[in-house]
Structure 1
Amino acid sequence: MTTVGKMASMTQRLVHLDLKGAAPKLSYLEEIIPLIQQWGATGLIIEYEDMFPYHGDISEVASSQAYSVEEVRKLLNMAERYNLEVMPLVQTFGHLEFALKHETFAKIREIPHYPTTLCPCHPDSVTMVTTMLDQVLEMHPKTKWFHIGCDEVYHLGKCDLCRRKMADENLTAQQLFFGHVKAVATYIKTHYPTITPIVWDDMFRFAQVKDLKTSGLGGLVEPMIWHYLSSFLLPENLFDNLSTVFPDIWVASAFKGATGVCASMTNISFHVENHLSWLRLIDEKGSKFNSVRGFAITGWQRYDHFAVMCELLPVAIPSLAMCLSVAKQRVFTQDMHMHISNQLEFKPGLPLNPYQCHVPTECRYPGSAVYAAMVDWIQIQAKCEQFLQSDTLCSWMNDYNIERGFVNPMHIEPIVTEATNILARLCEVQIKVQKSMEPIFADDTVTEWIQTYLEPKSKRFSDIVEKGQKVLGRVNFKSYEEKMSQDT
């Protein structure tokens, strides 16, 4: 049993639905939202990105796969039915690729050829952001909190407008950042006075206390401190500094999407340790604040808008169940592990790290077919890598020798046989992945996953089989001297 000390309970446990990749169909959310509530969630953070049905002047921001107005209403009704608070999340500074990639909004980029960060000094920037906020808030009249993002603002004070403003007003890049956050947060508080803006903390982490105090953000926003590792790397004085300005904070852990940009399966042990570390840290630091409102349990689907998809939501449902239970009960025990394992019908048991599991696993829960398909995928992926990096392939079927016909069928034949078997297995896995994903995701999502991960591997092995078969069909033994003469 792993446990932590006792502290004032955090009332909120919000599950983050990241919709910027592999947004699930509403029919799937209908299946898992009751489970999320049962495992201890009190709410949802819905990061819409380009999946919200934006309209009017910003209609092109919406993806062609965006939820309809009716679907958003249905999602919100689901949440209300299970007493789950909804905190919308709309990026308003950094990570705005989903909007800034469009030429219409190129003029408000901080760096013209980087569609990542908004220029805080362009007169159209706040207008564009507040238009998004208004449209989202119109559909969320009951929300108490609104997350305005503002993490990882990589480019500050780079464009001519920003440099001029910094020079004219003697501002630092940090103060420029605070100014934009204040403008967005003030807009929300002015037009929606019952809503509290939430902001990621990372751009605050190395700010001087005097800058925090003069930022005007105290009492205006609540920081959400995010950290996804078990060993904390946060600045030692972060909590002291924040507590001088912000009476209330949130913390953000993760249940998926934080262990590798190309990860296919979820390492549950990693995320459980992250939650236990957070609980210990809050025991130590939480008294500095009026309240630590609760956990935001994030589940990232891409590292950013242009990144590949990482662990799919159905794969991470067991991790979410475990992390919610740990956050609620403040303990991780074998009984908890066994209870969730039985509930999700894992046989012989739920592996805490599927990458290290060598026993065939069966399970049954909403989306478990995707879990089973991804287990097959990581196993064949490992076999592919082992084959491609083998001395056998490099020694007897390298491109140099193949091009010159300097080969021995005794070595080529087993290589081609093994590559053919792996290719056949890749085709089987592709069928299984497609069949498991289609009920849960849009066709574009299924196609993207297969073409990102599976098809490149299949093409690589098709090439090996084709080259091997061709060279076996025209074997003409050459001496080493003949081979060398070709090069000269």
Structure 2
Amino acid sequence: MSSSTPFKMRLVHLDLKGAPPKVSYLSEVFPLFHALGANGLLIEYEDMFPYEGHLKLLRAKHAYSPSEVTEILRLARLSELEVVPLVQTFGHMEFVLKHAVFAHLREVAHFPNTLNPHEAESLTLVQAMIDQILELHRDVRWLHIGCDEVYYLGEGETSKQWLQQEQNSHAKLCLTHMQAVASHVLTQHPGVTPLVWDDMLRDIPQEQLKASGVPQLVEPVLWDYGADLDVHGKIFLIGKYQECGFQRMWAASAFKGATGASQSLPPVEHHIRNHELWLQVAGSGPVDTLQGIILTGWQRYDHFSVLCELLPVGIPSLAACLQSLVHGGFAEDVRLRVERFLGVSSLEITDTVSSVDTLLERNRYVTGWFSPYHRRRKLVHPVMVQHIQPEALSLLNRWNQLVQQLEAALQMAFYPDAIEEWMEENVFPSTQRLQALLQDLGEAAAQQPPPTSSGWDTGQNP
């Protein structure tokens, strides 16, 4: 392994709020992560954690059991991957606040994303979540407490009243809750350092951030997933955080899940470029300022959004990004090494236009003789049935075979609800459109008058 990387820690993010992998699949990919250059995992459990007691209702249908979490940690150790658990404690609390029993703890009553920091019960809730997670992760050095994208903070009725007092501000509201959560981690779980996403800290005035005491409690994770990352801006931000008192910081890139809420395949070159720019940031700042980098792999943008790229299709991008970090860039020899390692001819998978779309929108017989107008009125020239039906039936047969193969492959990695969701979003709409075309075609053909002895009846007198 090359020592040219400035990032000592390279954590692969597992976002379990969408299509969480089976433990058996993780047993296969953990050694792969290690071989590619990872030495840690950031596990964002969300509703996959086996919460107990009054928190048990947070569990998803296929949530991991305590023994499965223990097995995941064992598998991680075998592959020399240090685990950092992540629990949201402020924003992105939909998986908690969607439940009626906790709805009264919302910052804005109608929105389940942000916790009301004024309620004492809010802090009690996140403390209980933290304690249960750390009970199963006793040897961890870090706990990520989220705190990103705290939307609508300050817009709740209690906050509006609180903000009317001259000494109060949105920044103070944010920092006070962050301080309370981090203090609980440090006092109740000595040796565990809280990490936080940095977006809520970026625009807080330097003196206010410094005076809050937060820089002595947490390590911020500077995240930017863009292929146009502003290197100089990041270096400036690191300097600001240092002057505020933050001793250690982290970076966060992305290998998938950051270029579109419904993206199905990761644009590999985009993610490689993102990592190359992060290498420039790390190489330009003070040595050892950044403890490591988290390669995020978002599976949903939030608890209610659709699935984006599944983990298996993100592996080529992850491989390229990890190797970029290990070798200090993605030169041609690194690209060839990754392609050989994965056994592929190219890292970039082409997202071709659906064959069903091609038939329905580009086939000249369909667009010219069986348009939506014709389909609604069940009109079709009999000869066009011979042009359209065989191709449509053949295509449907190929799709049905593909569906069986996809389901078999997905069952190796995911639970039934994730498979059902992905198929409904990405496969069934195409097969249903094809089936509807064939049904309309059959009904239209059945309504045509039978041929006469002199040929097709045109409806005109001889």
Match in the other structure for 1:273 = 273
Q: Structure 1 CA distance, aligned partners of 2:385 and 2:176?
A: 66
Mapped partners of 2:418, 2:377: distance in 1: 43
Tell me, which stretches of 5 or more residues in structure 2 are unaligned? Answer: 450-455
> Is 1:387 matched with 2:385?
no
Q: Deviations over 1:124-181 (max 9, x none)?
A: 1111111100000111111111101111111111111111222246322222111111
CA–CA separation in structure 2 for the residues paired with 1:207 and 1:395: 61
d(CA) in 2 for partners of 1:429 and 1:322? Answer: 28
Q: 1:354 matched to which residue of 2?
A: 349
CA offset at residue 29 of structure 1? Answer: 1.1
Alpha carbons 1:267, 1:352 under 8 Å: kept: no
2:297 equivalent to 1:325 = no
The correspondence of residues 33-44 of structure 1 with structure 2, limited to 5 A, is 33-44=30-41
Matches within 5 A, 1:38-437: 38-168=35-165, 170-232=167-229, 236=233, 237-245=236-244, 246-284=246-284, 286-287=285-286, 291-346=289-344, 349=345, 351-355=346-350, 378-379=351-352, 382-390=354-362, 392=364, 393-411=366-384, 413-437=386-410
Deviation per residue, 1:20-53 (Å, 9 max, x gap): 1111111111111112112211211110011010
Secondary structure of 1:186's counterpart equals helix
1:295 Cα offset (Å): 0.8
Equivalent residue letter for 2:321: C
Deviation at 1:418, TM superposition (A): 3.6
Secondary structure of the 2:120 match is coil
Deviation at 1:123, TM superposition (A): 2.0
**Counterparts of 2:393 and 2:171 in 1: how far apart (Å)?**
57
2:222 and 2:171 mapped to 1: Cα distance?
A: 18
Task: Tell whether the 8 Å contact from 2:6 to 2:279 is kept in structure 1 after alignment.
Answer: no
Distance, in Å, in 2 between the alignment partners of 1:304 and 1:18 is 10
Tell me the alpha carbon deviations over residues 347-375 of structure 1, each in whole angstroms, 9 at most, x when there is no partner: xx1x22211xxxxxxxxxxxxxxxxxxxx
Amino acid across the alignment from 2:229 = F
Distance, in Å, in 2 between the alignment partners of 1:394 and 1:211 is 64
RMSD of the TM alignment (CA)?
A: 2.4
Q: Judge which range, 86-95 or 26-35, deviates more.
A: 26-35
Aligned to 1:483: none
Q: Deviations over 1:361-415 (max 9, x none)?
A: xxxxxxxxxxxxxxxxx54x53233334338445533333333355434445434
> CA, structure 1 residues 257+315, in 2 after alignment: closer, same or farther (shift >3 Å)?
same
**Alignment check: 8 A CA contact 2:4 2:326 kept:** no
Q: Partner letter of residue 93 of structure 1?
A: F
SS at structure 2 position matched to 1:458? helix
Identity %: 39
Structure 2 vs 1, CA of residues 274 and 472 (structure 1 numbering), >3 Å: closer, same or farther? same
What amino acid does structure 2 have at the position aligned with 1:258? A
Give, in whole Å, the separation in 2 of the partners of 1:343 and 1:10. 22
Letter in 2 for 1:474: Q
Q: Contact 1:205–1:235 at 8 Å: present in 2 too?
A: no
CA distance in 1, matches of 2:295, 2:280: 16
Q: Distance in 2 between matches of 1:331 and 1:235?
A: 19
**Residue 186 to residue 410, structure 1, CA distance change in 2 (3 Å):** same
Aligned equivalents of 1:403, 1:460: Cα separation in 2: 14
Aligned residue number for residue 364 of structure 1: none
**Any unmatched runs of 5+ in structure 1?**
1-5, 356-377, 480-488
Residue 354 of structure 1 aligns to a residue whose secondary structure is coil
**Residues 416, 464 of structure 1: 8 Å contact kept:** no
Task: Provide closer, same or farther for how the CA distance between residues 233 and 104 of structure 1 changes in structure 2, counting only shifts above 3 A.
Answer: farther
SS, match of residue 331 in structure 1? coil
> 1: CA distance between counterparts of 2:90 and 2:239?
26
Instruction: Give per-residue Cα distances to partners, 1:206-254, cap 9 Å, x unaligned.
Output: 2222332233211211110111111115893533322222222100011
Shift of 1:259: 2.2
State how far apart, in whole Å, the 2-side matches of 1:218 and 1:302 are. Answer: 30
- Residue 155 of structure 1 aligns to which amino acid in structure 2? Y
Which amino acid is 1:321 matched to?
A
